[in-house]
Chain A
Amino acid sequence: MSTNKANDEARIRELMDNWAKKFRAKDIDGIMSIYAPDIVSFDAIAQLQFKGVDAYKKHWEACLSFCQGPITFETRDMNITVGDGVAFSHYLNRCGGTDQSGEEKASWMRATVCFRKINGEWKVVHEHYSAPFDMETGKALFDLKP
């Protein structure tokens, strides 16, 4: 890998690490700061897609309102492929919140995040979060482990 690509990979990893901290802190402006204005998001819940930062911000606010207590968000196996101004990454994440009795409700999910370098800065132009579902019961599966 060229030095430039290694640098870009390190910058993307740092961006995603910082973003995870902002997510755990429920910092909506911090969360939104990595997205390009024309982001297309396939989130784990509710709709097939969210187009543009305004629609996505509303969705994020709704998501954060589901979580009364501390947020669980840890990532593993982050793999980043970097090209010339274009990159994509995939990883597993354990994501969830805390219910009213204080019990953690979290499950392993999958994430793919796609980037473009815009004015010298890496921005997320697309992301895709999901849980697999049981083909027989039609229910999302929250008890899978890597």
Chain B
Amino acid sequence: MSRNKTEEAWIRELMNTWVKAVRAKDIEGVMSCYVPDILLFDLAPPLEYRGVDAYRKNWEEWFSSFKGAVGYDIRDLRITTGDDAAFCHSLNRISGARTYGEQTEVWVRATVGFRKFDGKWMIAHEHLSVPFEMKEPYKALLDLEP
């Protein structure tokens, strides 16, 4: 939407800041992108997380499960903006060596909702997932590629 190009550019910059912080395991950098009352749906249980404190703990555990840097790439990012609400969706590739001895290579779906908070765009909602196979034993599909 060209009439909101500037807003879209701000959101794109926010997502760049976020992904750089994720790759660097920079917990403060990641958390600085979120509104205090964020509600998110993550890959692993529970069904939902409410609030930055619960989510911070989750990020800390996730970062510590990687031996080195986290590989994180965003593709097919599509952003839709209004005056003070916006959303985007993308396919994200997560990769890296885990401390429990496995190598993670997975594509996940990401939907992010934004609110403008004191004139600044912030992430108010995240939904990350992989689809599952519609037959027993209902395995998560971790080897799909775009």
The answer to whether A82 has its CB under 8 Å from any CB of chain B is yes
A112 engages B125 (CB within 8 Å): yes
User: Closest CB of chain A to B51's CB: distance in Å?
Assistant: 14
Q: In the complex, which residues of chain B have a beta carbon less than 8 angstroms from the beta carbon of A44?
A: 129, 131-132
Interface residues in A, total, Cβ within 8 A:
43
B138 engages A142 (CB within 8 Å): yes
B78 engages A48 (CB within 8 Å): no
The answer to whether A70 has its CB under 8 Å from any CB of chain B is no
B115 engages A42 (CB within 8 Å): no
B82 engages A114 (CB within 8 Å): no
User: Closest CB of chain B to A109's CB: distance in Å?
Assistant: 8
The answer to whether B46 has its CB under 8 Å from any CB of chain A is yes
The answer to whether B127 has its CB under 8 Å from any CB of chain A is yes
User: Closest CB of chain A to B104's CB: distance in Å?
Assistant: 10
Interface string of A86-107 (1 = CB under 8 A from B): 1110101000000000000000
Residues of A within 8 A of B (CB): 40, 42-49, 66, 79, 81-88, 90, 92, 108, 110, 112, 114, 116, 125-126, 128, 130-135, 138-142, 144-146
Counting from the closest, the 8 A-B pairs by CB-CB distance are: A83-B82, A83-B85, A86-B82, A130-B129, A133-B140, A140-B132, A84-B83, A110-B41
Residues of B within 8 A of A (CB): 39, 41-48, 78, 80-87, 89, 91, 107, 109, 111, 113, 115, 124-125, 127, 129-134, 137-142, 144-146
